[in-house]
Every structure is written in structure tokens, then in C-alpha cells.
Amino acid sequence: MAAGETGFSDVVYDLVSVEYHALKGGYVYGQYARDAEDEGHEEIAEFFRQVMREDSARAEKCHRFLVQLSGTRAE
């Protein structure tokens, strides 16, 4: 397992990065959905909720991979 400049393997760094961005995106997409709802655009609000669910699933999968690589149990 080669360590990049961070002291962690590149794969671990990459997974953490994707997990972080998926969680961050999920947070802001909730606001986008509320904005669309406030303006009466339910179809667009549902689109943002779908994107939020996809990011949530992406973050969860990254977390499972990180747990697998670390050899510990998920919380």
C-alpha cells in the first residue's frame, strides 16, 4: 500500500474525498429542494431529492469500503 503525500494510501484518500463531497453535496441539495418547493417547482425539488439520495448511497458505499480497508467495524 503506497502512501501519498498525506501519509495514507491514495485509495483511502480518494474514498475519503468522495465520501466527504457526497455528504457535503447531500447537505446543500436539501436546501436546493426546499428552494424549488418554495417556488412551486415540485418536479425540480424531487430531482434534487433524488440527487441527495444518490449522494447518500455513494457516501455509505465509500464508508463501507473504508471500513473494509481498515479492518474495523462500521458505526
Domain that includes residue 51, residue range: 12-70
Is position 2 within any domain?
Answer: no
Is position 17 within any domain?
Answer: yes
| Average of per-residue pLDDT across 44-59 | 97
How far is the C-alpha of 53 from the C-alpha of 35, rounded, in Å? Answer: 17
How far is the C-alpha of 32 from the C-alpha of 64, rounded, in Å? Answer: 28
Is position 27 within any domain?
Answer: yes
pLDDT digits (tens, 9 = 90+) for 3-19: 556 677 899 999 999 99
- Total domains, the chain: 1
Is position 1 within any domain?
Answer: no
pLDDT confidence of residue 55: 96
How far is the C-alpha of 71 from the C-alpha of 65, rounded, in Å? Answer: 10
Is position 22 within any domain?
Answer: yes
